[in-house]
Amino acid sequence: MENNSPKNLNSQKGKSQARTFFVWSALILIVMLLKFYADGTSAAQEFSIRDLMREAAADNITELTIRNDPNGGQNWYEVTGYINNPRFGKEGAPANTPRKNPFKFSGTILEDNYKILTSPSAPWEIREKSANSAWSSVFFTILPFLLVIGVIYFLISRQMRLSGKSAMDFGKSRARLLSPDKDRTTFDDVAGCDEAKEEVAEIVDFLKTPEKFRKIGAKIPKGILMMGPPGTGKTLLARAIAGEANVPFYSISGSDFMEMFVGVGAARVRDMFEVARKNAPCLIFIDEIDAVGRQRGAGMGGGHDEREQTLNSLLTEMDGFDGHEGIIIIAATNRPDVLDSALLRPGRFDRQVVIDTPDAKGREEILKIHARKIKLAEDVDLQTVARLCPGCSGADLANLLNESAITAARRNSPIVSMQDINIARDKVFFGRERRRLMDDDEKKLIACHESGHAITQCVLDSGNMPVHKVTIIPRGQSLGSTMFLPKRDVLTETKANLLNQICSTLGGRVAEEIAFGEITNGAASDIKQATKIARKMVCDWGMGTLGPIALGENQEHIFLGKEIARDRHFSEKTAQLIDDEIKNVIDAQLNRARDILNSRRAQLDLMSAALVEFETIDGDLARDIVSEKVKTLDEIKERLAQPKPDETKSAETPSPAATPSINPAPAQA
């Protein structure tokens, strides 16, 4: 039995590295020797015919090699050899020290001199080269370069093989076999999606006990498509399936099929299923399948582009003439609307599992899982944290606890307190505090703007989303924020609540107009948010005078070739009515906010002054100012100076609402 222990693997790796080192050393040595042999006379001293004959007369030449001109030149020779001459002694040596030095002569030699050099009675050894020796000289000159090119090619090809990018392996599958012993994930590590867990648990049950299903005649689904917003745990659930099922699990991304060469994607799909058939039963997980499974015929490149060929191959392998019994495909995407209909039919992806953002109970369970590795203080109540984070996904909650741990470590605390979680939540949801230098006029303007938001919200709120905190400290891209605290997960909205949101969003602009008699560009995001809600009310939700008619199809995200040429489903007259209706909604709520703030001008001035001096006030104090329980700045100072019974829990800030498309973001100055 083969021993694959870490020690043995390290030994084999060390031997392989040593063998590679010796191979490269030998090749380099051979190249150096050949180069030296080919260029051995390159350092030889150039002789003239006079010097050559003088040394020959003095019997100083020890060896001669004479080669005729290979091109047939008359009386042209190349003479090389060695000479013993004290004049060529080694530098620093005595002048009478003989030294064997190479020399070289190229040129025309008269017949008399040629006879002297080639005389049989000459004391030197004579060698004659034929004309064919030129080829050997050329060979030994080019050989080193060929070896260098070969070495470079070997290095590059070896590196490409190690990285899985060999020129001969383009059609090989990039699917990675997930090791069950490395970072194993089980269903206990997944929370907040109990229904989805039940759906995929049947897959694991079938793989473990297939006889139970076969006896009754049931067939396991061939494919499962997990859909949901980003960060809800689709990939994590797939890893949990791999951890629970004791079968090979292959993981690949949709983008891994695509390559610059035509036909590579389809070849990789075929190779992936070929490997899977050899290891059946097994699981194949394709993440971000929308990268390769988009609708066919929806692009500018016609119907024969590389993506479509890859998709055709995938469709054939999933449910074609060749069966794939025992191969279960699991895919994940957050864009199910762009997938091809042939991919979603029964027989390919039989089940479509929706993984949505978790509810309050699910968020609490997710927080408990991520809190296993974090030391929490006794004052941390995960149920409260979960209640204050409506609309957050599992990834958001994991990031929240991680930022809390980083905040605690920054202040050298061994545990994470509720205060750390509060600071992290403010940073994650609203941005990091930016202490910008602002003059008094800027502070007064921003304080008035945020007071307008807070007062209108306090007046209009029915208790579902009360004001939690008002601040003029810049966070993220905003110069100030009015933060709301949702009491529950917002799933549906009434028309009255939507109009209240528009009115509260426009309260900041109206406050500037009332207090300063001017308007600024600080309400840009507020106007955009209010217009977005009003347009959806009229075009999508049927809450205008035009009635329950869907008029918003041309507002969808453009997918190249699908909606780019789509005509509007209404006339120009209807478009004008839509614009008038949206303007009427905005104008009505603008006047409504103006009436609210004009009737509470004293509260507006008091809250603005409190924000200028203290920068931040909580929601309870804001409501007391609006209800006139607190009427002066001195009372506010006394109120802020009093210690709170539970400072940590009262300092919490909310997250964005569960449905950001119909709930305004925190007001920005």
User: What positions carry a catalytic annotation?
Assistant: 450
CA atoms within 13 A on the CB side of 301: 8
Distance CA(9)–CA(513), nearest Å, equals 75
- E-strand ranges in 518-614 read none
Count of helix runs (H) and strand runs (E) in the chain = 22, 14
Q: Do 387 and 408 contact (CB within 8 A), yes or no? A: no
The number of beta carbons lying within 10 Å of the beta carbon of residue 563 is: 14
Distance CA(348)–CA(330), nearest Å, equals 10
Distance CA(525)–CA(669), nearest Å, equals 8
| Angle made by CA atoms 228, 231, 235, in degrees to the nearest 5 | 80
Closest by alpha carbon to 238, among 323, 325, 355, 341? 355
| Angle made by CA atoms 358, 361, 367, in degrees to the nearest 5 | 80
Q: Hey, what are 273's tokens?
A: 């299923």
Q: Which residue, chain included where needed, has tokens 């006030």?
A: 617
Q: Hey, what are 343's tokens?
A: 């991919």
Q: Do 263 and 296 contact (CB within 8 A), yes or no? A: no
Q: Do 244 and 409 contact (CB within 8 A), yes or no? A: no
Q: Do 63 and 124 contact (CB within 8 A), yes or no? A: yes
Q: Hey, what are 240's tokens?
A: 């949990």
Q: At what angle do helices 234-244 and 194-208 cross, to 10 degrees?
A: 30
Residues 6+ apart with CB under 8 A from 272: 173, 175, 250, 252, 284
